[in-house]
Structure 1
């Protein structure tokens, strides 16, 4: 896939030192982080005991399929600008039946930007778009109403050699041969595209599964290409239904906050105010993304604050953000994954980049995370060369 984008960054006050402030907020969980304050002594920053490293366990589905969470992150992908604004980024084909009893289901809603499959692959007329036009798309996604559900296995992600673009690329390189239980219309479209040399992917669980998790990304009508720039781009989902990472503008959009049921926000910007202090619980960490920024107090504070929110009763939903969601927010997400998932920096960074490809903590932050890794586990598990190759 070719998904290069221009980078954009909010100007930050690079002269400002770390300032850790927790603003007490009101939310539906009834929990708050106001008791968590910056620490200023080395003993308070050290973990109570050394951690035993673990490897991430990620769901693995058959090649040719893609999960609802993966589609959500594909639709949320950003690299300078939203990938979805590119008309040739993803072609989504709604392969649900429009006949008889299925018609009322089809007419209710579609995955955002989807178009009817018959406008591309007609059951009688065949392919209505040239192969040259189809080849322009980075991703071609098909879905039926429910779709098949192959056995889900688990694998350990123990290599950083995965592509650093969009993690669905791992699953879409080869067409699935286990599509027999999907709808006839979807199968016709799938095999027709495959014969044309395309590598379409099938939404696992179909439209019903996607709508159940992300109803706000379903619309009653297929949007025109000219309307793409009006679409809402959501933060990336790092831990399903729990932890999100994104930009300051996303953190200021209450529709996003409501749809993702965000209760806690970690604001890592130097000059972007907390958007909803009377409704949400905030941890404010005034950070810059330059080579002099010290994270010695911010890392443990962010890690333990995120964990406190996720472990609350009921569990909170956390959004970590900086200006564009690439550098500062990535460092804070990574330290949580290291400390509370017991992942090495290498494994945590791989996990993060698979879900938010634009994540790019700077060298200064990576060096400090390596030091923190040694503090957590008692030895250095990751070298800078491991994560910069």
Structure 2
């Protein structure tokens, strides 16, 4: 397998056989798509060559032919992911977004006992708008009556999340108690009952600023109501890179709310849903032991990179059928090449943000080879990533 990777650095490939296509769209994204297409079609080029395009708003398909795959110009130096310090007891808005949209077989939010969200603001603020599925805290932790839910029922929840209007002061500090006394009371009462609650960093204000589409004035508590909720793709890099399913890539509400501009479609059968609106890279891959990723990994990596570095910066959705195997392999290749992370660190990062990540063993082995190509040596073992 490694021999094939090395050959790509010297020999042109005929991508038409693989069916790789770059879809073009309207003027709103033409400049960014030209840059991505030009980079994908050129190896170590010092000039920017545009792909033929028209001023029409209709999508056209451009087969990539007789061009080398973009390979790293030099051996990369591995880096560690930067860890953002968060005060004890807090959880970031991005983490809450991914919790609310987590999928394990089916969307986790459909389970009434998956996450208990307690709004510790006033009743008026709660009625005005709150995080989806949230309850007013007084319905669970009453100022005088104590906990209104039995400890047995509380233990059924995987996550207990609290939030105030704002807040980032250390839990239990004088400032925290002054700024959000109801939240602090709930936190310590739940802790005394043996629970492990977490607090939304920045409160409702911070979350609503980033994810207004996950806030509502409706009470959504029961399982039938939860099944009506829109489940969004996982956010891998904040405000930049998302990974999800084909169904999510076809949902206009999701595309609009996340401000997606570019899509990597890694399916063999799902069409590009919005070719006149978005830039697409189509990689018709199969999720099996025979699928070769030699061309797909560097193509997807460069496409994502060019989209994110555009002016203005784009937002990319990478998807396959379920958003688990093929899309994960492509996302991992990007994180390895353009964040300079080993496969092990990239996989840990991805799984923290998308728990259902599960590239098949064939893809993992090819990613290990890609890691060796990028960094000049094998940094990760198969045993490391299968634990």
User: If the TM-score is normalised by the length of the shorter chain, which range does it land in?
Assistant: 0.7 to 0.9
Name the CA distance, whole Å, in 2 between partners of 1:298 and 1:39.
14
Deviations 1:168-215 (A, max 9, x none): xxxxxxxx5455354111111111111111111111110000000000
1:329 to partner: Cα distance:
0.2
Name the CA distance, whole Å, in 1 between partners of 2:220 and 2:376.
53
Conserved? CA contact 2:69–2:299, under 8 Å: no
Matched, 1:57 2:82: yes
1:28 to partner: Cα distance:
3.2
Instruction: Name structure 1 gaps, 5 residues minimum.
Output: 1-16, 151-175
Name the CA distance, whole Å, in 2 between partners of 1:356 and 1:336.
16
Conserved? CA contact 1:247–1:321, under 8 Å: yes
Match of 1:142 in 2: 162
Conserved? CA contact 1:29–1:313, under 8 Å: no
Match of 1:22 in 2: 22
Name the CA distance, whole Å, in 1 between partners of 2:108 and 2:316.
23
1:22 to partner: Cα distance:
1.1
Match of 1:213 in 2: 210
Match of 1:12 in 2: none
1:26 to partner: Cα distance:
2.7
1:93 to partner: Cα distance:
0.5
1:60 to partner: Cα distance:
2.5
Match of 1:186 in 2: 183
- Relative to structure 2, which stretch is displaced further, 18-27 or 270-279? 18-27
Match of 1:272 in 2: 270
Q: Which runs of 4+ in 1 moved over 3 A?
A: 27-30, 33-41, 176-182
Match of 2:142 in 1: 122
1:227 to partner: Cα distance:
0.1
Map 1:300-315 → 2, pairs under 5 A: 300-315=298-313
CA RMSD of aligned residues (A): 1.6
Match of 1:73 in 2: 98
Structure with more relative contact order (C-alpha pairs < 8 Å, separation 6 or more): 1
Give aligned pairs, total.
342
Map 1:227-246 → 2, pairs under 5 A: 227-246=225-244
Question: Which of these two proteins has the greater Rg computed from alpha carbons?
Answer: 2
1:92 to 88, 92, 117: 117
Deviations 1:129-159 (A, max 9, x none): 1110111000000000112345xxxxxxxxx
TM-score, scaled to structure 1: 0.85
1:353 to 345, 351, 354: 351
Name the CA distance, whole Å, in 2 between partners of 1:93 and 1:272.
39
Name the CA distance, whole Å, in 2 between partners of 1:182 and 1:358.
37
3-state DSSP of counterpart to 1:180 = helix
Instruction: Name structure 2 gaps, 5 residues minimum.
Output: 1-16, 42-63
Conserved? CA contact 1:55–1:343, under 8 Å: yes
Match of 1:204 in 2: 201
Name the CA distance, whole Å, in 1 between partners of 2:252 and 2:346.
29
Name the CA distance, whole Å, in 2 between partners of 1:91 and 1:338.
35
